[in-house]
Amino acid sequence: MSIEIKFDEAARRIFVFDEVYSERAAREQAEKRKLGAFGTVARVQSLIAGGPKPETVSLSKSELRFEPFWLVSARRSVDYTCQVEYTVGIDNAHAQRVQIGSFATEVAARGSKRQIVVPAVETCHRKIDFSTHLDGLKREIRASTLEAYVRNYKAQDVEAMAADNAVESLVSIASVIQIATSRLTGEAIAAHEIAHDELLIDKLYLYWRPVFAFEYVWTANGRTGVIEIDGLTGDGIANGQWFKDKLQRVMTREMLIEVSSEVANAVVPGTGVAVKLIDRML
């Protein structure tokens, strides 16, 4: 039985958040936290001789970058039948045999109860939902944290991400679709026969959020460290990272549509179930 993968008409979109914190405010926050750029041990050492001091740590470079994360939401709808047996109690103490239409069966005694077992076929419809947020740089950022960005801050719906300071997503479109399809097709369906199996992806969104990065140099030993300031919340991350891999080309919504269509028209990983793509947009 093949699974039809469909995309909602507005399933694939690109969003870019506007920074809430200015570069100046972010720099002020980074200056307050700069000793943390070299790790917890160095921060503790700053209290004693030999550790970094504010006067021995200087800013070497800074940037506003846009970091990617994904939102994928999908629903699997299955029409199927189940072969079951209904146990029906018989109140008439004198009944020996029961006929229902063309079906007839003997009444059986089960202790003090009298009953019959009726075979039946149930026609069923089941819906299974899946939704998650995924950090595009494969870090252990909670989905709830990324969800809060979407819920609390404004993002522009754009046709393309052309900023040269956007970080390349390490999580591919293929991985995002496979996560959703694997999770949904991995749900067991207790069916005798499946009449129709459809998976609708209603959200495949790629977000970019602003992050200010400040690289500091500990002049005493030449070590470098990075402080990150969230451009939306203003939260700081000590001992951060400097991402060198930026987008090599403009990421457009059309590219998102084309690549996701190619990926979906494949086999769902680990299931052996053939996938038939029906794309409403194409």
Task: Give the pLDDT confidence of 148-197 residue by residue, as tens digits.
Answer: 999 999 999 999 998 889 999 999 999 999 899 999 988 888 899 999 99
DSSP class of residue 263?
H
Task: Give the pLDDT confidence of 62-87 residue by residue, as tens digits.
Answer: 999 999 999 999 999 999 999 999 99
The angle formed by the CA atoms of residues 20, 25 and 31, to the nearest 5 degrees, is 135
Residue 278: band (very low, low, confident or very high) from pLDDT cuts 50, 70, 90: very low
Q: Which two tokens stand for residue 234?
A: 């203003």
Beta carbons of 223 and 51 less than 8 angstroms apart: no
This prediction's pTM: 0.82
Beta carbons of 241 and 247 less than 8 angstroms apart: no
Close Cβ partners of 27 (under 8 Å, ≥ 6 residues apart): 62, 212, 214
What are the b/e assignments for 158-168, b being 16+ CB within 10 Å? beebebeebbe
